[in-house]
Amino acid sequence: MTPEQLPIEQYDAQLAEKVSRLQAMMVPFAAPDVEVFRSPVSHYRMRAEFRIWHDGDDLYHIIFDQQTKQRIRVDQFPAASELINTLMPKLINAIRDNHALRFKLFQIDYLSTMSNQIVISLLYHRKLEEEWTAAAEALRDELRAEGFDVQLIGRATKTKICLDRDYVDERLPVAGKEMIYRQVENSFTQPNAAMNIQMLEWALDVTKGSRGDLLELYCGNGNFSLALARNFRRVLATEIAKPSVASAQYNIAANQIDNVQIIRMAAEEFTQAMNGVRAFNRLEGIDLKSYQCETIFVDPPRSGLDEETVKMVQAYPRILYISCNPQTLCDNLSTLSATHDVARLALFDQFPYTHHMECGVLLTRKA
Protein backbone atom coordinates (compact mmCIF):
# COMPACT_ATOMS: atom_id res chain seq x y z
CA MET A 1 0.00 0.00 0.00
CA THR A 2 1.25 3.49 -0.86
CA PRO A 3 0.17 6.66 1.00
CA GLU A 4 -2.00 7.48 -2.02
CA GLN A 5 -3.90 4.21 -1.72
CA LEU A 6 -6.03 2.82 1.08
CA PRO A 7 -6.96 -0.88 1.17
CA ILE A 8 -10.64 -0.02 1.57
CA GLU A 9 -11.67 -3.53 0.50
CA GLN A 10 -9.76 -4.89 3.53
CA TYR A 11 -11.35 -2.57 6.08
CA ASP A 12 -14.04 -4.96 7.34
CA ALA A 13 -11.57 -7.83 7.79
CA GLN A 14 -9.06 -5.61 9.61
CA LEU A 15 -11.75 -4.27 11.91
CA ALA A 16 -12.99 -7.79 12.64
CA GLU A 17 -9.44 -8.81 13.60
CA LYS A 18 -9.23 -5.91 16.06
CA VAL A 19 -12.58 -6.86 17.61
CA SER A 20 -11.43 -10.46 18.01
CA ARG A 21 -8.10 -9.38 19.51
CA LEU A 22 -9.71 -6.99 22.00
CA GLN A 23 -12.33 -9.55 23.03
CA ALA A 24 -9.56 -12.10 23.68
CA MET A 25 -7.57 -9.58 25.76
CA MET A 26 -10.65 -8.92 27.89
CA VAL A 27 -11.49 -12.57 28.64
CA PRO A 28 -9.70 -12.51 32.06
CA PHE A 29 -11.97 -9.64 33.12
CA ALA A 30 -15.28 -11.25 32.10
CA ALA A 31 -16.03 -8.33 29.79
CA PRO A 32 -19.28 -8.16 27.82
CA ASP A 33 -19.37 -8.23 24.03
CA VAL A 34 -17.51 -5.43 22.29
CA GLU A 35 -19.56 -2.49 21.04
CA VAL A 36 -17.92 -1.64 17.71
CA PHE A 37 -17.66 1.84 16.22
CA ARG A 38 -16.48 2.09 12.62
CA SER A 39 -14.37 4.86 11.16
CA PRO A 40 -14.94 6.44 7.78
CA VAL A 41 -12.79 4.43 5.37
CA SER A 42 -11.07 7.54 3.97
CA HIS A 43 -10.51 11.23 4.82
CA TYR A 44 -10.74 10.48 8.54
CA ARG A 45 -7.57 12.16 9.85
CA MET A 46 -7.90 15.83 10.77
CA ARG A 47 -4.12 16.13 11.32
CA ALA A 48 -1.17 15.26 9.11
CA GLU A 49 2.58 15.95 9.22
CA PHE A 50 4.93 15.62 6.27
CA ARG A 51 8.63 16.10 5.74
CA ILE A 52 9.50 18.18 2.68
CA TRP A 53 12.00 16.83 0.17
CA HIS A 54 13.96 19.23 -2.07
CA ASP A 55 14.76 17.60 -5.42
CA GLY A 56 16.54 20.05 -7.71
CA ASP A 57 13.98 22.66 -8.71
CA ASP A 58 11.16 20.53 -7.38
CA LEU A 59 9.97 19.84 -3.85
CA TYR A 60 7.22 17.65 -2.43
CA HIS A 61 5.74 16.06 0.68
CA ILE A 62 7.28 12.80 1.85
CA ILE A 63 6.83 10.25 4.60
CA PHE A 64 9.18 7.47 5.67
CA ASP A 65 8.18 3.82 5.64
CA GLN A 66 8.28 2.68 9.28
CA GLN A 67 9.80 -0.71 8.45
CA THR A 68 12.26 0.06 5.67
CA LYS A 69 12.83 3.79 6.41
CA GLN A 70 12.40 4.28 2.67
CA ARG A 71 11.43 7.77 1.54
CA ILE A 72 7.99 7.89 -0.10
CA ARG A 73 6.70 10.83 -2.13
CA VAL A 74 3.16 11.92 -1.19
CA ASP A 75 1.11 14.12 -3.50
CA GLN A 76 -2.26 13.05 -2.10
CA PHE A 77 -3.01 11.43 1.26
CA PRO A 78 -6.55 9.96 1.33
CA ALA A 79 -6.31 9.14 5.04
CA ALA A 80 -6.31 12.91 5.70
CA SER A 81 -9.28 15.24 5.46
CA GLU A 82 -10.43 16.44 2.07
CA LEU A 83 -9.41 19.96 3.09
CA ILE A 84 -5.81 18.84 3.73
CA ASN A 85 -5.74 17.02 0.37
CA THR A 86 -7.04 20.10 -1.43
CA LEU A 87 -4.41 22.36 0.12
CA MET A 88 -1.37 20.06 -0.19
CA PRO A 89 -0.71 20.74 -3.91
CA LYS A 90 -1.64 24.41 -3.54
CA LEU A 91 1.00 24.82 -0.81
CA ILE A 92 3.68 23.06 -2.84
CA ASN A 93 2.91 25.07 -5.99
CA ALA A 94 3.06 28.34 -4.05
CA ILE A 95 6.29 27.49 -2.23
CA ARG A 96 8.24 25.82 -5.08
CA ASP A 97 9.38 29.04 -6.77
CA ASN A 98 9.31 31.31 -3.72
CA HIS A 99 12.78 31.42 -2.14
CA ALA A 100 11.60 33.14 1.05
CA LEU A 101 9.12 30.34 1.75
CA ARG A 102 11.15 27.46 0.35
CA PHE A 103 14.69 27.98 1.68
CA LYS A 104 15.47 25.31 4.32
CA LEU A 105 11.81 24.34 4.74
CA PHE A 106 11.85 20.78 6.10
CA GLN A 107 8.31 20.02 7.32
CA ILE A 108 4.67 21.06 6.91
CA ASP A 109 2.04 20.27 9.57
CA TYR A 110 -1.70 20.48 8.90
CA LEU A 111 -4.48 20.72 11.51
CA SER A 112 -7.96 20.80 9.97
CA THR A 113 -11.52 20.61 11.24
CA MET A 114 -14.93 19.38 10.15
CA SER A 115 -15.91 23.06 10.28
CA ASN A 116 -13.47 23.70 7.39
CA GLN A 117 -10.87 25.69 9.31
CA ILE A 118 -7.19 24.83 9.02
CA VAL A 119 -3.84 25.79 10.55
CA ILE A 120 -0.74 25.14 8.43
CA SER A 121 2.67 25.26 10.13
CA LEU A 122 5.85 25.62 8.06
CA LEU A 123 9.00 24.39 9.86
CA TYR A 124 12.49 25.63 8.97
CA HIS A 125 16.16 24.96 9.67
CA ARG A 126 16.97 28.69 9.55
CA LYS A 127 16.13 32.01 11.12
CA LEU A 128 12.90 33.54 9.83
CA GLU A 129 13.23 37.17 8.72
CA GLU A 130 10.76 39.87 7.65
CA GLU A 131 11.04 38.59 4.08
CA TRP A 132 9.46 35.30 5.21
CA THR A 133 6.61 37.09 6.99
CA ALA A 134 5.79 39.17 3.92
CA ALA A 135 5.80 36.10 1.67
CA ALA A 136 3.70 34.10 4.14
CA GLU A 137 1.15 36.91 4.42
CA ALA A 138 0.86 37.03 0.63
CA LEU A 139 0.32 33.26 0.51
CA ARG A 140 -2.27 33.43 3.28
CA ASP A 141 -4.16 36.21 1.49
CA GLU A 142 -4.07 34.28 -1.79
CA LEU A 143 -5.56 31.17 -0.13
CA ARG A 144 -8.21 33.19 1.68
CA ALA A 145 -9.17 34.85 -1.62
CA GLU A 146 -9.89 31.33 -2.88
CA GLY A 147 -12.26 30.80 0.05
CA PHE A 148 -10.05 28.87 2.48
CA ASP A 149 -10.32 29.67 6.21
CA VAL A 150 -6.57 29.23 6.75
CA GLN A 151 -4.02 30.26 9.37
CA LEU A 152 -0.28 30.18 8.61
CA ILE A 153 2.48 29.73 11.18
CA GLY A 154 6.26 29.75 10.74
CA ARG A 155 8.45 27.76 13.12
CA ALA A 156 12.22 27.64 13.56
CA THR A 157 14.53 27.08 16.53
CA LYS A 158 13.13 29.10 19.45
CA THR A 159 10.87 30.94 16.98
CA LYS A 160 7.15 30.89 16.28
CA ILE A 161 5.66 33.47 13.91
CA CYS A 162 1.87 33.45 14.01
CA LEU A 163 0.38 35.68 11.32
CA ASP A 164 -3.07 35.81 12.92
CA ARG A 165 -3.85 33.02 15.36
CA ASP A 166 -2.53 29.57 16.19
CA TYR A 167 -5.81 27.70 16.58
CA VAL A 168 -8.95 26.47 14.85
CA ASP A 169 -12.42 26.16 16.33
CA GLU A 170 -13.98 22.77 15.66
CA ARG A 171 -17.75 22.29 15.72
CA LEU A 172 -19.02 18.77 16.36
CA PRO A 173 -22.63 17.53 16.50
CA VAL A 174 -22.78 15.47 19.71
CA ALA A 175 -26.07 13.77 20.67
CA GLY A 176 -28.23 16.55 19.26
CA LYS A 177 -26.08 19.46 20.43
CA GLU A 178 -23.30 21.34 18.61
CA MET A 179 -20.10 21.43 20.64
CA ILE A 180 -17.37 24.02 20.01
CA TYR A 181 -13.78 22.96 20.65
CA ARG A 182 -10.78 25.28 20.27
CA GLN A 183 -7.79 23.30 19.04
CA VAL A 184 -4.32 24.84 19.32
CA GLU A 185 -1.52 24.14 16.87
CA ASN A 186 1.11 21.76 18.26
CA SER A 187 -1.20 20.60 21.09
CA PHE A 188 -3.00 17.27 21.38
CA THR A 189 -6.36 16.91 19.65
CA GLN A 190 -8.33 13.83 18.67
CA PRO A 191 -7.09 12.94 15.16
CA ASN A 192 -10.28 11.26 13.87
CA ALA A 193 -13.17 13.72 14.27
CA ALA A 194 -15.90 11.31 13.15
CA MET A 195 -14.67 8.76 15.68
CA ASN A 196 -14.42 11.42 18.37
CA ILE A 197 -18.12 12.15 17.92
CA GLN A 198 -18.91 8.46 18.41
CA MET A 199 -16.68 8.26 21.49
CA LEU A 200 -18.40 11.28 23.04
CA GLU A 201 -21.84 9.88 22.32
CA TRP A 202 -20.89 6.49 23.77
CA ALA A 203 -19.55 8.17 26.92
CA LEU A 204 -22.82 10.10 27.22
CA ASP A 205 -24.81 6.90 26.82
CA VAL A 206 -22.90 4.94 29.48
CA THR A 207 -23.16 7.81 31.99
CA LYS A 208 -26.86 8.45 31.37
CA GLY A 209 -28.77 8.84 34.63
CA SER A 210 -25.58 9.41 36.66
CA ARG A 211 -25.81 10.80 40.17
CA GLY A 212 -23.53 13.37 41.76
CA ASP A 213 -20.42 14.88 40.21
CA LEU A 214 -17.77 13.76 37.72
CA LEU A 215 -14.02 13.85 38.26
CA GLU A 216 -11.89 13.74 35.11
CA LEU A 217 -8.12 13.30 34.86
CA TYR A 218 -6.17 14.21 31.69
CA CYS A 219 -8.99 16.42 30.33
CA GLY A 220 -6.99 18.09 27.51
CA ASN A 221 -9.06 20.86 25.90
CA GLY A 222 -12.19 19.64 27.68
CA ASN A 223 -13.18 17.29 24.87
CA PHE A 224 -15.01 14.81 27.13
CA SER A 225 -15.66 16.98 30.19
CA LEU A 226 -17.76 19.51 28.30
CA ALA A 227 -19.82 16.91 26.46
CA LEU A 228 -20.40 14.92 29.66
CA ALA A 229 -21.34 17.98 31.73
CA ARG A 230 -25.00 17.56 30.75
CA ASN A 231 -25.10 14.19 32.61
CA PHE A 232 -23.68 15.44 35.93
CA ARG A 233 -24.35 18.05 38.59
CA ARG A 234 -20.76 19.34 38.34
CA VAL A 235 -17.51 18.33 36.64
CA LEU A 236 -14.05 18.76 38.17
CA ALA A 237 -11.30 18.19 35.60
CA THR A 238 -7.50 18.27 35.66
CA GLU A 239 -4.94 18.94 32.91
CA ILE A 240 -1.24 19.86 33.12
CA ALA A 241 -0.54 21.40 29.67
CA LYS A 242 -1.07 25.18 29.70
CA PRO A 243 -2.31 25.52 26.07
CA SER A 244 -4.86 22.76 26.66
CA VAL A 245 -6.07 24.39 29.88
CA ALA A 246 -6.45 27.73 28.07
CA SER A 247 -8.43 26.02 25.30
CA ALA A 248 -10.61 24.25 27.86
CA GLN A 249 -11.42 27.56 29.56
CA TYR A 250 -12.36 29.09 26.20
CA ASN A 251 -14.49 26.06 25.34
CA ILE A 252 -16.37 26.30 28.64
CA ALA A 253 -17.37 29.88 27.78
CA ALA A 254 -18.05 29.18 24.09
CA ASN A 255 -20.40 26.32 24.94
CA GLN A 256 -22.06 28.33 27.75
CA ILE A 257 -21.37 25.59 30.30
CA ASP A 258 -21.48 26.65 33.94
CA ASN A 259 -20.85 23.41 35.83
CA VAL A 260 -17.25 22.56 34.79
CA GLN A 261 -14.13 23.53 36.80
CA ILE A 262 -10.65 22.99 35.26
CA ILE A 263 -7.55 22.69 37.46
CA ARG A 264 -4.03 22.84 35.97
CA MET A 265 -2.49 19.82 37.66
CA ALA A 266 -0.98 16.50 36.67
CA ALA A 267 -3.07 13.46 37.54
CA GLU A 268 -0.31 12.31 39.90
CA GLU A 269 -0.38 15.68 41.72
CA PHE A 270 -4.15 15.56 42.06
CA THR A 271 -3.85 12.08 43.54
CA GLN A 272 -1.41 13.47 46.12
CA ALA A 273 -3.85 16.29 46.92
CA MET A 274 -6.77 13.89 47.30
CA ASN A 275 -4.70 11.66 49.57
CA GLY A 276 -3.58 14.64 51.69
CA VAL A 277 0.07 14.03 50.83
CA ARG A 278 0.65 17.60 49.55
CA ALA A 279 -1.14 20.93 49.51
CA PHE A 280 -1.22 22.90 46.25
CA ASN A 281 -1.74 26.64 45.80
CA ARG A 282 -3.58 25.87 42.56
CA LEU A 283 -6.36 24.32 44.65
CA GLU A 284 -6.84 27.42 46.75
CA GLY A 285 -10.50 28.42 46.73
CA ILE A 286 -11.63 24.99 45.49
CA ASP A 287 -13.50 22.97 48.10
CA LEU A 288 -12.71 19.41 47.05
CA LYS A 289 -14.86 18.07 49.87
CA SER A 290 -17.95 19.74 48.35
CA TYR A 291 -17.75 17.48 45.32
CA GLN A 292 -19.64 14.20 45.49
CA CYS A 293 -17.91 12.37 42.66
CA GLU A 294 -19.41 8.94 42.13
CA THR A 295 -17.90 8.67 38.65
CA ILE A 296 -14.30 9.20 37.57
CA PHE A 297 -13.24 9.55 33.94
CA VAL A 298 -9.69 8.84 32.76
CA ASP A 299 -8.14 9.06 29.29
CA PRO A 300 -4.45 8.53 30.08
CA PRO A 301 -1.42 8.50 27.76
CA ARG A 302 -0.24 5.22 26.22
CA SER A 303 1.59 4.31 29.43
CA GLY A 304 -1.75 4.02 31.27
CA LEU A 305 -2.42 4.99 34.88
CA ASP A 306 0.43 5.01 37.38
CA GLU A 307 0.15 2.72 40.40
CA GLU A 308 -0.96 5.40 42.86
CA THR A 309 -3.61 6.77 40.50
CA VAL A 310 -4.99 3.27 39.91
CA LYS A 311 -5.43 2.91 43.67
CA MET A 312 -7.07 6.34 43.84
CA VAL A 313 -9.64 5.64 41.10
CA GLN A 314 -10.68 2.43 42.86
CA ALA A 315 -12.36 4.62 45.48
CA TYR A 316 -15.06 5.60 42.96
CA PRO A 317 -18.20 3.52 42.32
CA ARG A 318 -17.98 4.02 38.53
CA ILE A 319 -14.83 4.33 36.42
CA LEU A 320 -15.04 5.40 32.77
CA TYR A 321 -11.72 4.61 31.08
CA ILE A 322 -10.78 5.55 27.50
CA SER A 323 -7.55 3.89 26.39
CA CYS A 324 -5.30 4.30 23.35
CA ASN A 325 -3.30 1.24 24.43
CA PRO A 326 -5.33 -1.87 25.36
CA GLN A 327 -2.22 -3.54 26.80
CA THR A 328 -1.71 -0.90 29.51
CA LEU A 329 -5.49 -0.87 30.01
CA CYS A 330 -5.30 -4.59 30.77
CA ASP A 331 -2.39 -3.97 33.13
CA ASN A 332 -4.56 -1.47 35.02
CA LEU A 333 -7.58 -3.80 34.91
CA SER A 334 -5.52 -6.47 36.68
CA THR A 335 -5.77 -4.22 39.74
CA LEU A 336 -9.13 -2.57 39.08
CA SER A 337 -10.92 -5.89 38.53
CA ALA A 338 -10.39 -6.77 42.19
CA THR A 339 -12.94 -4.09 43.10
CA HIS A 340 -14.86 -3.41 39.86
CA ASP A 341 -16.62 -5.31 37.06
CA VAL A 342 -16.43 -4.40 33.37
CA ALA A 343 -20.00 -3.37 32.55
CA ARG A 344 -19.47 -1.96 29.02
CA LEU A 345 -16.70 -2.42 26.46
CA ALA A 346 -16.26 -0.48 23.21
CA LEU A 347 -13.79 -0.46 20.33
CA PHE A 348 -13.36 2.85 18.51
CA ASP A 349 -11.49 2.40 15.23
CA GLN A 350 -9.57 5.65 15.60
CA PHE A 351 -6.68 4.44 13.39
CA PRO A 352 -7.96 2.37 10.43
CA TYR A 353 -5.51 0.14 8.54
CA THR A 354 -3.15 0.01 11.52
CA HIS A 355 -2.61 -2.32 14.46
CA HIS A 356 -3.64 0.40 16.93
CA MET A 357 -6.89 0.26 18.86
CA GLU A 358 -8.75 2.83 20.95
CA CYS A 359 -11.21 1.37 23.42
CA GLY A 360 -13.46 2.31 26.29
CA VAL A 361 -14.63 0.47 29.36
CA LEU A 362 -17.18 1.32 32.03
CA LEU A 363 -16.31 -0.26 35.38
CA THR A 364 -18.82 -0.55 38.21
CA ARG A 365 -18.02 -1.42 41.79
CA LYS A 366 -18.63 -5.05 42.74
CA ALA A 367 -21.72 -5.68 44.84
Reduce the DSSP state of residue 277 to 3 states and report it.
Answer: coil
Selected catalytic residue, list 219, 293, 324, 359: 324
Write down the catalytic residue from 185, 216, 269, 358: 358
Residue 81 CA to residue 128 CA, distance in Å, equals 29
What φ, ψ does residue 117 adopt, rounded to 5°?
-105, 155
Q: Are 181 and 340 in contact (CB under 8 A)?
A: no
Asked if residue 223 belongs to a known ligand binding site, the reply is yes
Where residue 158 falls (left for φ over 0; alpha for ψ -120 to 50; beta otherwise) is left
Q: Is 299 known to sit in a ligand binding site?
A: yes
Active site residue 4: no
Do the bridges between strand 149-156 and strand 159-162 make them parallel or antiparallel, or are there none, so unpaired? antiparallel
Amino acid at 123: L
Active site residue 324: yes
Residue 239 in marked binding region: yes
Q: Tell me the C-alpha to C-alpha distance, in Å, between residue 322 and each of 119, 201, 209, 329, 362.
A: 27, 13, 20, 9, 9
- At position 327, the amino acid (one-letter code) is Q
Tell me the backbone φ, ψ of residue 224, rounded to 5 degrees: -85, -40
Active site residues: 324, 358
Task: Write out the binding residues for S-adenosyl-L-methionine.
Answer: 190, 218, 223, 239, 299
Task: Write out the binding residues.
Answer: 190, 218, 223, 239, 299
